[in-house]
Amino acid sequence: MTAIPMEHGLLLAAVLFMLGLIGLLVRRNIIFMLLSIEVMLNAAGLAFVVAGARWAQAEGQIMFMFILAMAAAEVAVGLALVLLMYRKFKTLDSDQVSRMRG
Amino acid sequence: MAIIFYISSAVAVLSTVMVITRMNAVHALLYLIVSLLSVAVIFFTLGAPFIGALEVIIYAGAIMVLFVFVMMMLNMGKKAAELESSWVNPRMYVGPAILAAILGIELVYMLASGSNRAAGFEMVGPKAVGIGLYSSYLVGLELAGMLLLAGLVGAFHLGRRDED
């Protein structure tokens, strides 16, 4: 059984990361921005796992678990901030809350 | 056999494009779940079944449930009911259901043919990951635990209502 080239896996990770980045830059709804960040983190983890599979090492999967823990903590705090923002400004548009004086 | 990897890749890219082009957050969430499931199938083909299971349980399970909770909390207005009935229009399930069915067929095929590493790489099982995690990366594991605790405390602090 011949293995697929590692570059194809990395290319997939790069495409998913770019899609997440495009979503983050284009969308102004804060929920969609958080979703795009999830896509980007997932793509970064995919790159780690592909590289780990290429050399048959467990390190790639271990790094993915750290990314997973980081994503969980990030999304919990991020969604709490979204709730706070909606309670205070009654909007989910990130352009409406761009002034730092609040 | 490598075709399973490429089909899952196509499903992942397609569903991610649908995520960033949807106008409705719930529809985007449906497609994001399909995207995460397809990445989980890719992990399975790459010989990382443990990480594939974690992806389904934590990403597609726990984190997406957090998003759904927050989205439902944000829409507690009077017209929340009709808004929700417009969101869960059965026609919106067709796209994610077709993509998920493709992934399901791939999974059944892989299980039936006994090839749990269709991309051709050597399998790195949960045992190797656990040994590495609890020996070389023990400090990182402790730091990840502290990060999760900090996330918990931070989310609780931000989410609490002022009683005064």
Task: Judge whether residue B155 has pLDDT over 70.
Answer: yes
Task: Judge whether residue A101 has pLDDT over 70.
Answer: no
pLDDT for position A36: 94
For a pLDDT cut of 70, what percent of chain B falls above it?
86
Task: Judge whether residue A39 has pLDDT over 90.
Answer: yes
Residues B128, B132, B133, B135, CA torsion sign: positive
Nearest to A31 among B48, B71, B140 (CB): B71
Task: Judge whether residue B13 has pLDDT over 90.
Answer: yes
Question: For all residues of chain B together, what is the average pLDDT?
Answer: 86
pTM of the model: 0.89
B96-115 in b/e form (b: 16+ CB < 10 A) is beebbebbeebbeebeeeee
- Helix axis angle for A6-26 and B25-45, nearest 10°, is 170
Q: Kindly indicate the confidence band of residue B120, based on its pLDDT and cuts at 50, 70 and 90.
A: confident
Q: Which A residues 26-45 touch B at CB under 8 Å?
A: 26-27, 29, 31-32, 34-36, 38-39, 42
Q: Degrees (nearest 5) of the Cα angle B30, B46, B105? A: 50
How far is residue A36 CA from its own chain's centroid? 6
**What are the residues whose beta carbons fall under 8 Å from the beta carbon of B82, sequence distance 6 or more?**
none
Q: Which residue has the tokens 């949807």?
A: B22
pLDDT for position B78: 56
Question: How much is the ipTM here?
Answer: 0.90
Question: For all residues of chain A together, what is the average pLDDT?
Answer: 88
Which class would CATH give B2-124?
mainly alpha
Q: Which B residues 25-84 touch A at CB under 8 Å?
A: 25, 28-29, 32, 35-36, 39, 42-43, 46-48, 50-51, 54-55, 58-59, 62-63, 66-67, 70-71, 73-74
Q: Degrees (nearest 5) of the Cα angle B67, B70, B74? A: 135
Q: Where are the domains of chain B?
A: 2-124, 125-164
Q: Which helix (H) or strand (E) holds A102?
A: none
Q: Give the mean pLDDT of B62-78.
A: 80
pLDDT for position B88: 67
Q: Give the mean pLDDT of B38-52.
A: 91
What residue type is A6 in one-letter code? M
CA distance A54 to chain B (A): 6
Q: A72, B36: Cβ pair inside 8 Å?
A: no
